[in-house]
Amino acid sequence: MSGELATAATTTRRLGRLDVQVDRTATGCVVTLAGQIDDQAALEAVAAELPVERVGEVVIDLDGVRFINSIGVREWIGLLRRLDARGARVTLRRCSEPMVHQMNMVMEARGDATIESFHVPYVCDVCGGTASRVLPVAAHEQALRARKVPPQPCSECGGAMQFDDFPNRYLLFLD
Q: Which tens digits make up the pLDDT trace of 80-93?
A: 999 998 889 999 99
Query: What's the pLDDT tens digit per position in 103-152?
Result: 999 999 999 999 999 999 999 999 999 999 999 999 999 999 999 999 99
pTM to 2 decimals? 0.91
Residues 67 and 37 sit within 8 Å (Cβ to Cβ):
yes
CATH superfamily for domain 4-115: STAS domain (3.30.750.24)
So where are the chain's domains? 4-115, 122-133+140-175
Please say if the pLDDT value at position 5 is more than 90. Answer: no
Please say if the pLDDT value at position 7 is more than 50. Answer: no
CB neighbour list of residue 58: distance below 8 Å, 6 or more residues apart: 28, 29, 30, 31, 50, 83, 88, 89, 90, 91
Give me the pLDDT at residue 6, please.
Answer: 42
Q: Phi first, then psi: give them for residue 95, nearest 5 degrees.
A: -60, 120
